[in-house]
A and B are shown apart, each in its own frame.
Chain A
Amino acid sequence: MTQSRLHVPHPPARPGEKPDFSYLEIPPAGHEPRPDTLAPAIEIERLGTGMVRVLDEHGRAVGPWNPHLEPEELQVALRHMLLTRHFDERMQRMQRQGRISFYMKSTGEEAVAVAQGMALQPGDMLFPSYRTQGLFIVRGKSLVDLMSQCLSNTRDMCRGRQMPIMYHWAEGNIFSISGNLATQFPQAVGWAMAAAIKGEDRIAASWMGEGSSAEADFHHALTFAAVYQAPVILNVVNNQWAISSFQGFAGGERRTFAQRGPGYGIPGVRVDGNDFLAVYAVTRWAAERARASGGPTLIEHVTYRAAAHSTSDDPSRYRPKEEWLAWPLGDPVKRLKEHLIGIGEWSEERHAALEQELEAHVTACWKEAVTYGTLSDGPTLDPMSMFEDVFHDMPAHLKRQREELRGLTAAQHAAAAVKIPGGEG
């Protein structure tokens, strides 16, 4: 008699065990062919199982995907990635000091947002997810604004309505981050459909983690993108971990995430997510394809979440402490730095000076941000503003509730004033 058996995926290593990334197939840099941007999806299925890589183990840019960027552009990229890292470190520390309630670092994944932000046009619409703060940095959003959002202070773009990191930037064409994961994926497709309906040359891009690719929204996004050939780039950032669930719990044991694309008739490209040049090149390829009515592309970025999921998470409970050090695709910042040094366009001295400059910049931004208030000190937002923006025009029931709160607050202030010693009468 046969009997079925439930397969419950297990990560290769748990705390105390030796990190093991043997499940990852990593071809050498320069190995993947670069097809024509308008090649039919069926002819390029191989890109979903291989891995586009440009930077080799010696930091050299090799193969047909080398985007041949100018050294100045690479230096800008390094600056953006390093700034993202310094910003993250500072905000993590500020959370630990109780200055902000929550934070999420993107450490180890900086190349994804920075390379893609740089490869796209300023008019292209970005639908971000967690750990894509690099997009805001590339597009020039000031750190003071990002910090102010995390502080829910008087300069907060969200007016105190969202927990930290749920940024948006309308002028910079960056959509609002949602805590309901994956919702932005099909929204980006709708945005791209509208661009095509209007006959624009702008495209959309969206990001999600491999974990949330299990949501129905992923399927909706790929279905709609394929059906309407929407000009959109759909990115799955496979950082191996969704809080404590390794990528096998999203189906990664059976197929790469990029391979899901061809199932929908969409090219799926798997890229070394810690290789700035490879991510940049693949994004340019997909963007050219989308702009030329070639339709959507699914990109899987193979990377590693070096930090905890968030400041509320303790990864030492579920994965080996030193796993990040064993990650075979290395550190994206270090790899780009070594490449730049290798081509004679960078040095340890310049790097150290840049780090110092960025650290000072982050410090100055933080000092400015707290002048707009923190959760505990300084100027505060008016609680009455919580009733605004629920609707375009405030309906009667919200006006009534606002007046109720206003009355309550006034009564509390009056009561507090009476309690001041010697202040009675």
Chain B
Amino acid sequence: MAQMNMVQAINSALDVMLGRDQRVVVFGEDVGYFGGVFRCTDGLQRKYGEHRVLDTPIAEGGIVAAAIGMGVNGLRPVAEIQFADYIYPAFDQIVSELARLRYRTAGDYCAPVTIRTPCGGGIRGGQTHSQSPEGVFTHVCGIKVVMPSNPYDAKGLLISSIEDEDPVVFFEPKRIYNGPFDGDPHKPAVPWSTHPKGEVPDGHYAIPIGKAQVVRPGKDVTVLTYGTMVHVAEAAVRLAEVDAEIIDVRTMVPLDVDTLCTSVSKTGRCVIVHEATRFSGFGAELSATVQEECFWQLEAPIARVTGWDTPYPHAFEWDYFPGPARIVAAIRSVMEAR
């Protein structure tokens, strides 16, 4: 076991897979020689050569299209989109091509591509470096959507993504690359070495895609969340002094409905938390699912705590960010409802 932050864990997953499987290739903007703007691919080109770890032109549509072609030709491409905010030029290639290739060819062609992309705010990134567009991709049939919340999961889920036969969009919440974040930007940063999930095995291990995880067991209310907000929710639950069950969704597609609904059926109350905007966000799908599966067990309306339905504002970042205070308020309202 080693201590790793999320960047190192992702680097380790790529290292393991490049070492184990000759078909794995890693590429993206600044990914090769430099090792990535967030350092996730640091040292990999030196170790595996420039035919397996390479820089690309600044053309997200070209990166994903090339990944599809490589996948069709038997490789296992891992493409990096430098910021999730930059993924839209590749949207057609992801939605119309990558996601549907297996379907439209009745299984004769497929491209097992993993798209890694850092997402989320809280880094003074403004509207072009802070977005959480996971919900946009969950609406597309044929791609899996994953977002880890800690180094251990990041490595295990990334290995599973690369080994998966289907395309995966793998969101990396960049605010927690270097340490868990409880939603208070004024507190000193906490490193992953202080967190049990910062313990990461050096070798190969896989965390199955499609499995949520109970982060904190509890009986009063269920908090469904993922990514950075897992840690913010933990802080909020401490503040609210309730016995909440926090579930890290981890995989949005396919969704682990059983784990989510078993919990809500037990607690009878549900708060959904994500950083992405609210309207038609992934929380709406979670809310609908819980309502469909657990309606008769619910004691209170489901609450959602999300980013506001505005672009991510640079100067008002902490007014925008769904921090602990808003989560506490939602938990209290759900607890008080009867």
On A, residues with C-beta under 8 Å from B are 125, 127, 157-159, 161-162, 166, 168, 170, 175-176, 178, 180, 183, 185-195, 197-198, 204, 216-217, 219-221, 223-224, 227, 388-393, 395-397
Number of A-B contacts (CB under 8 A): 143
B102 to chain A, nearest CB (A): 5
Q: Are A157 and B57 in contact (CB under 8 A)?
A: no
Residue of A nearest to B60 (CB): A220
> How far is it, in angstroms, between the C-alpha of A37 and the C-alpha of B9 when the chains are bound?
47
Q: Are B70 and A168 in contact (CB under 8 A)?
A: no
Identify B108's interface contact among A170, A193, A388, A393, CB under 8 A: A170
Q: Are B70 and A194 in contact (CB under 8 A)?
A: yes
Within 8 A of A (CB), among B55-81: 56-57, 59, 61-62, 65-75, 77
Within 8 Å CB of A388, what residues of B? 107
Within 8 Å CB of A393, what residues of B? 165
Q: Known contacts A190-B70, A392-B110; is A183 also within 8 Å of B65 by CB? A: yes
Identify B25's interface contact among A197, A223, A396, CB under 8 A: A197
Q: Are A392 and B72 in contact (CB under 8 A)?
A: no
A352 to chain B, nearest CB (A): 39
Q: Known contacts A217-B61, A223-B62; is A191 also within 8 Å of B69 by CB? A: yes
Assuming A176-B108, A217-B65, what are 11 further A-B pairs, CB within 8 angstroms? A161-B106, A186-B66, A189-B66, A190-B69, A190-B71, A197-B25, A223-B62, A224-B57, A227-B57, A389-B102, A389-B103
> How far is it, in angstroms, between the C-alpha of A183 and the C-alpha of B71 when the chains are bound?
15
Most chain A beta-carbon contacts within 10 A, residue among B72, B107, B254:
B72
Most chain B beta-carbon contacts within 10 A, residue among A180, A194, A198, A204:
A194
B33 to chain A, nearest CB (A): 14
B93 at the interface (CB under 8 A from A): yes
Identify B93's interface contact among A162, A183, A194, A224, CB under 8 A: A183
Within 8 Å CB of B69, what residues of A? 127, 186-194, 204
**Could you give, for residues 148-175 of chain B, a 1 whenever the CB lies within 8 Å of some chain A CB and a 0 otherwise?**
0000000000000000111000000000
B257 at the interface (CB under 8 A from A): yes
Identify B72's interface contact among A187, A224, A395, CB under 8 A: A187
Residue of B nearest to A160 (CB): B106
A315 to chain B, nearest CB (A): 27
Q: Known contacts A187-B72, A396-B254, A396-B257; is A176 also within 8 Å of B101 by CB? A: yes
B142 at the interface (CB under 8 A from A): yes
B175 to chain A, nearest CB (A): 29
Residue of B nearest to A187 (CB): B69
Residue of B nearest to A394 (CB): B254
Identify B52's interface contact among A161, A186, A197, A217, CB under 8 A: A197
6 A–B contacts, CB within 8 A, in A order: A158-B104, A168-B108, A189-B66, A190-B73, A220-B65, A223-B57
B317 at the interface (CB under 8 A from A): no
Identify A180's interface contact among B62, B97, B210, B257, CB under 8 A: B97
Q: Are A193 and B66 in contact (CB under 8 A)?
A: yes
User: Which 3 pairs, one residue from A and one from B, show the smallest C-beta to C-beta distance?
Assistant: A190-B69, A220-B62, A190-B66
Within 8 A of A (CB), among B83-106: 89, 92-93, 96-97, 101-106
Q: Are A190 and B65 in contact (CB under 8 A)?
A: yes
Within 8 Å CB of B254, what residues of A? 391, 395-397
Q: Known contacts A390-B102, A390-B103; is A157 also within 8 Å of B97 by CB? A: no
B109 at the interface (CB under 8 A from A): yes
B255 at the interface (CB under 8 A from A): yes
Q: Are B109 and A224 in contact (CB under 8 A)?
A: no
> How far is it, in angstroms, between the C-alpha of A183 and the C-alpha of B97 when the chains are bound?
8
Residue of B nearest to A393 (CB): B165
Q: Are B57 and A190 in contact (CB under 8 A)?
A: no
Q: Known contacts A389-B107, A392-B166; is A183 also within 8 Å of B92 by CB? A: yes
Most chain A beta-carbon contacts within 10 A, residue among B57, B65, B74, B75:
B65
Within 8 Å CB of B165, what residues of A? 392-393
Within 8 Å CB of B164, what residues of A? 392
B51 at the interface (CB under 8 A from A): yes
Residue of B nearest to A168 (CB): B105
Residue of A nearest to B112 (CB): A392
B123 at the interface (CB under 8 A from A): no
Q: Known contacts A186-B66, A194-B70, A220-B62; is A158 also within 8 Å of B106 by CB? A: yes
Q: Known contacts A191-B70, A223-B57, A396-B254; is A166 also within 8 Å of B92 by CB? A: no
Q: Are B96 and A180 in contact (CB under 8 A)?
A: yes
Within 8 Å CB of B108, what residues of A? 157, 168, 170, 176
Within 8 Å CB of A397, what residues of B? 254-255, 257
> How far is it, in angstroms, between the C-alpha of A217 and the C-alpha of B93 when the chains are bound?
9
B141 at the interface (CB under 8 A from A): yes
Q: Are A389 and B106 in contact (CB under 8 A)?
A: yes
Within 8 Å CB of A220, what residues of B? 57, 59, 61-62, 65
B115 to chain A, nearest CB (A): 14
Q: Known contacts A197-B25, A223-B57; is A395 also within 8 Å of B210 by CB? A: yes
**Could you give, for residues 221-264 of chain B, a 1 whenever the CB lies within 8 Å of some chain A CB and a 0 otherwise?**
00000000000000000000000000000000111010000000
Most chain A beta-carbon contacts within 10 A, residue among B62, B68, B96, B97:
B62
Within 8 Å CB of A187, what residues of B? 65-66, 68-69, 72, 97
Q: Are B105 and A176 in contact (CB under 8 A)?
A: yes
Q: Are A183 and B66 in contact (CB under 8 A)?
A: no
Q: Are A216 and B68 in contact (CB under 8 A)?
A: no
Identify A157's interface contact among B25, B65, B102, B106, CB under 8 A: B106
Residue of A nearest to B74 (CB): A194
Q: Are B62 and A176 in contact (CB under 8 A)?
A: no
Within 8 Å CB of B107, what residues of A? 388-389
Q: Known contacts A170-B108, A389-B106; is A221 also within 8 Å of B62 by CB? A: yes
